[in-house]
Structure 1
Amino acid sequence: MSFWETITGSDLTREVKAFDARAAALPADYQAAWEEIKLHLVPYSDFTGRNLMPIFDSGLALLEEAAADGQDIRDVLGDDVKGFCAALAGGKEAPGYRDRWREQLNRNVARKLGQLGG
């Protein structure tokens, strides 16, 4: 990956298009599930979204295998797609850049208040 691809995110665009092309080969109900999975995985992204690429790949591979085995999509994902995505992503939302900024601000304010108070 070149520096330019890293800055512009063109490598991510290429990967997402490849995932969507793979998903297009799935049955219609699996394609709809794939779109829902992508939607529910976005909150687990870091600032760039690069951390989602392996998660997308493993989720799509699971769908491809299940479709090849002829399983019903509800048997694969269950009734809680959002919960499935949480488990796939590691169980909790990753802290984002806003969370890190908020923590840094809180630390700085606490440090300043500590200096003023004592």
Structure 2
Amino acid sequence: MNFLERITGSDMNREMKSFELRVKNLPADYQAAWKKINQNIWVHGDFSGRNLMPILESVLELLEVTAADGQPIEEVLGDDIQGFTSAITGHSGAKTYRDRWRYQLNRNVAKKLGGLK
């Protein structure tokens, strides 16, 4: 990835388009689940969202394999897709911008109160 791709995000756009092409080959219920996961996952991203790309790749691979095996989507992801999304991002170490801001705020307050040097 070169500097221009990193700045413009064209590398991520290209990767998301390839994900969407792969999703079109999945059954309809899997496509709906992917859409829900995609809607819920972005709050766990960093400023650019690049930290979520490997997670999305892994989730898509999981959906492709389980669809090929003929498993129902409820058996794979459960009933709570938002909970599933939170779990996969939490275990992967992805932090939200709110987590970073909270950490910075707490650190600045501690500095002002003399707790940190």
Structure number with greater Rg is: 1
3-state secondary structure, aligned to 1:71:
coil
3-state secondary structure, aligned to 2:60:
helix
3-state secondary structure, aligned to 2:50:
coil
Letter in 2 for 1:40: N
2:29 equivalent to 1:29:
yes
Q: Extract structure 1 runs of 4+ deviating beyond 3 A.
A: 98-114
Change (3 A) 1:25 1:101: same
Letter in 1 for 2:37: I
Change (3 A) 1:105 1:87: closer
Q: Distance in 2 between matches of 1:30 and 1:111?
A: 49
Q: What stretches of structure 2 of length at least 5 have no aligned partner?
A: none
Q: What stretches of structure 1 of length at least 5 have no aligned partner?
A: none
Residue aligning to 1:70: 70
Residue aligning to 1:41: 41
Change (3 A) 1:77 1:5: same
Q: Distance in 1 between matches of 2:103 and 2:78?
A: 36
Q: Distance in 1 between matches of 2:102 and 2:69?
A: 47
Aligned-residue RMSD, C-alpha: 1.9
Q: Is the 8 A contact 1:55 1:89 kept in 2?
A: yes
What is the CA-CA distance between 1:111 and the residue it aligns to? Answer: 3.3
Matches within 5 A, 1:47-62: 47-62=47-62
Q: Distance in 2 between matches of 1:78 and 1:109?
A: 41
Change (3 A) 1:95 1:40: closer
TM-score by length of 2: 0.84
3-state secondary structure, aligned to 1:90:
helix
Q: Distance in 2 between matches of 1:40 and 1:62?
A: 17
Q: Is the 8 A contact 2:43 2:96 kept in 1?
A: no
